[in-house]
């Protein structure tokens, strides 16, 4: 029989074990989530009712036949599940890791009305990873063509940007028989998938694997090609491309424009994560020059803020504080990422807004002056508007400040494209259903059109644009 002392000792050992594992995790860039085992995947798939009129499909921006691929898992035909996914989704292993299924397909699952929905995202990841682990023989042929006339037609389409929207559009068009060239400004592929999301959430090997699949469909990828500088869009048409899809994202960071943002030690989350990812600071065999303070303050509470905070911890920061002007209830980050950040030791100060960044006589950050907030009536977004509380100023100690406030359009391409209509924020004006812009044959989608959004929303835009380009070129040839 356990004594009280035995129970207390076991409890302390248990807590110590959890703390040890957490400290080990926050010092490593290894992927945090392990995914489902085969037994777990079968158990989760068995919960799916395989509805005749599935509401979950309506919640999927890339139109995956969710009940069909889950039924294949139920029948232990994992190769078929992977093929069914790739009929609609060119990047299933990525979507299974980073897409907010809880606000999309899982939100509309009929089981969500009375209990918790089927974990569609985890099952998607399981099928994609199973295919990679068991090789091409087990997975059989590549995904079925997306259109009946998928015989190579020799017609050329240019895609600008190799992020999620560009890869989706390129893959779908290749399945339809087009000769697609993707022009990527960076020296590697993936866009935000590679430079914006940390290794512990989306390993680069997964990005490489998905890009290779798109290439296997016949897509040509050209790196270090800055369209707007190396070639203009007009020049692409002059060299034989019959349509262009712009998927360059919105790569310029936003700031608060408060005093002190020019001090040494202030980095946008965009720059910080890009520097870590593209220069491989997450690898022990690389000596990447990334400045990381001992006390880091992150402004904002979206997914990018969570990524920046958790990355700073892994690079050696002793204390990371996230400040957010609304309450915990309004945090825009995925619940999973928010919980992971808390578990790893990130400190949160809600109802707090920065006023200025404080520095020393040498121009280095020493802190961030903030003011406390309270929530008033809902604003245009439907969220309660934060209001300052006079006289509540205080200072957060920090030697590094990372604003994670979103991004705006980079004008490098748009400023060099005559005839392309832009809105007041510098985003491309495009039809939300087709992606068609003011220039005939030119389509656009993703963050360059909508502003900062999600990976899956960019993929949905790429899929819609591929379909519209096919219709446009088919009509043009008649």
- Beta strands 384-388 and 156-160 are unpaired
CB-CB contact of 158 with 170 (8 Å): no
Both tokens assigned to 464: 């819609």
Q: Which of 265, 250, 263 lies closest to 298, judged by CA?
A: 265
Backbone angles phi, psi at 201, to 5 degrees: -105, -35
According to the model, what pLDDT value does residue 35 have?
A: 93
Domains of the chain: residue spans and CATH: 38-139 (1.10.1060.10), 156-251+409-476 (3.50.50.60), 253-407 (3.50.50.60)
Question: Contact at 8 Å (CB) between 322 and 346?
Answer: yes
* pLDDT tens column, 192-223: 999 999 999 999 999 999 999 999 999 999 99
Residue pair 192/80 in contact (Cβ under 8 Å)? The answer is no
Tokens representing 303 are: 């997914």
pTM over 0.85: yes
pLDDT at 14: 47
What whole-number distance in Å separates Cα of residue 199 and Cα of residue 307?
A: 10
What span, in angstroms and rounded, lies between the C-alpha atoms of 120 and 353?
37
DSSP of 395-424, one letter per residue?
Answer: EEE-SEEEE---EE--HHHHTT-TT--B-T
The H-or-E segment that residue 12 falls in is helix 4-25
Closest CA to 214 of 183, 180, 249, 248: 180
Q: In the structure encoding, which two tokens stand for residue 478, read together? A: 């008649």
Which pLDDT score is estimated for 10? 52
Residue 25 vs residue 347, higher pLDDT: 347
Distance from C-alpha of 153 to C-alpha of 172, rounded to nearest angstrom: 14
The stretch 316-345 carries a mean pLDDT of 95
Question: Would you state the pLDDT for residue 219?
Answer: 97
Nearest to residue 371, comparing CAs of 387, 388, 383, 349? 388
* pLDDT band, residue 180 (cuts 50/70/90): very high
Give the per-residue pLDDT at 113: 87
What integer pLDDT is reported at residue 4 of this predicted model?
A: 60
Query: What integer best gives the mean pLDDT of the chain?
Result: 91
- Average of per-residue pLDDT across 240-269: 95
- Least confidently predicted of 9-23, 53-67, 341-355, 451-465: 9-23
pLDDT tens digits, 113-161: 888 999 999 999 999 999 999 875 444 444 444 444 468 898 999 999 9
pLDDT at residue 261, as a whole number: 96
429-442 mean pLDDT? 97
The pLDDT tens digits of the residues spanning 259-293 come to: 999 999 999 999 999 999 988 999 988 888 888 99
Q: What is the pLDDT of residues 17-54, one digit of tens each?
A: 455 566 677 888 999 988 999 999 999 999 999 998 99
Looking at the chain, the number of H-run helices and the number of E-run strands are 17, 15
pLDDT in tens, 58-78: 999 999 999 999 999 999 999
Share of the chain above pLDDT 90, in %: 82
Average pLDDT on 412-416 reads: 92
Q: Strands 319-323 and 347-349, how do they pair?
A: parallel
Average pLDDT over residues 309-316: 96
Tokens of 217: 């469909």
Res. 393 pLDDT band, cuts 50 70 90: very high
The whole-number average pLDDT for the span 337-363 is 96
- What pLDDT is attached to residue 150? 66
Query: Do residues 408 and 437 lie in contact, with contact meaning Cβ atoms separated by under 8 Å?
Result: no
């Amino acid at each position: 029989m356990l004594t009280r002392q035995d129970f207390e000792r076991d409890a302390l050992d248990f807590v110590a074990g959890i703390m040890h594992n957490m400290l080990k995790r926050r010092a490593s860039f290894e992927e945090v989530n392990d995914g489902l085992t085969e037994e777990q995947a079968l158990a989760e798939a068995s919960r799916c009712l395989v509805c005749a009129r599935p509401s979950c499909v309506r919640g999927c921006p890339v139109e995956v036949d969710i009940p069909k691929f889950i039924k294949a898992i139920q029948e232990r035909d994992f190769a078929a599940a992977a093929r069914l996914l790739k009929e609609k989704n060119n990047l299933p292993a990525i979507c299974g890791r980073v897409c907010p299924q809880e606000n999309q397909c899982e939100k509309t699952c009929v089981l969500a009305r009375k209990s918790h929905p089927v974990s569609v995202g985890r099952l998607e990841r399981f099928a994609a990873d199973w295919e990679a682990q068991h090789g091409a023989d087990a997975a059989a042929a590549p995904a079925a063509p997306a259109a009946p006339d998928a015989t190579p037609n020799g017609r050329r389409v240019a895609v600008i940007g190799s992020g999620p929207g560009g890869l989706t559009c390129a893959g779908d068009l290749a399945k339809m028989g087009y000769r697609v060239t993707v022009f990527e400004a960076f020296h590697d592929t993936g866009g935000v998938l590679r430079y914006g999301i940390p290794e512990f959430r989306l390993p680069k090997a997964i990005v490489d694997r998905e890009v290779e699949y798109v290439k296997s469909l016949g897509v040509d990828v050209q790196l270090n090609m800055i369209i707007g500088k190396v070639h203009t869009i007009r020049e692409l048409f002059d060299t034989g491309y019959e349509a262009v899809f712009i998927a360059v994202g919105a790569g310029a960071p936003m700031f608060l424009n408060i005093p002190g943002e020019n001090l040494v030690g202030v980095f946008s989350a965009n720059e910080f994560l890009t520097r870590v990812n593209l220069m491989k600071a997450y690898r022990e065999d690389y000596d990447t020059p990334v400045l990381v303070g001992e006390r880091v303050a992150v402004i904002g509470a979206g997914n990018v803020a969570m990524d920046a905070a958790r990355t700073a911890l892994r690079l050696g920061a002793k204390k990371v504080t996230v400040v957010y002007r609304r309450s915990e209830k309004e945090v825009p980050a995925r619940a999973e990422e928010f919980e992971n950040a808390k578990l790893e030791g990130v400190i949160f100060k809600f109802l707090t807004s920065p006023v200025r960044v404080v520095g020393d006589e040498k121009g280095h950050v020493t802190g961030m002056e903030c003011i406390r907030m309270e929530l008033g009536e809902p604003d245009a977004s439907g969220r309660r508007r934060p209001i300052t509380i006079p006289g509540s100023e205080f200072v957060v100690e920090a030697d590094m400040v990372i604003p994670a406030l979103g991004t705006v359009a980079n004008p490098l391409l748009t400023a060099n494209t005559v005839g392309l209509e832009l809105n007041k924020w510098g985003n491309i004006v495009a039809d939300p259903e087709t992606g068609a812009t003011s220039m005939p044959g030119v389509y656009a989608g993703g963050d360059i059109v909508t502003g900062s959004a999600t990976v899956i929303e960019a993929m949905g835009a790429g899929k819609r644009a591929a379909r519209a380009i096919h219709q446009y070129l088919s009509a043009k040839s008649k």
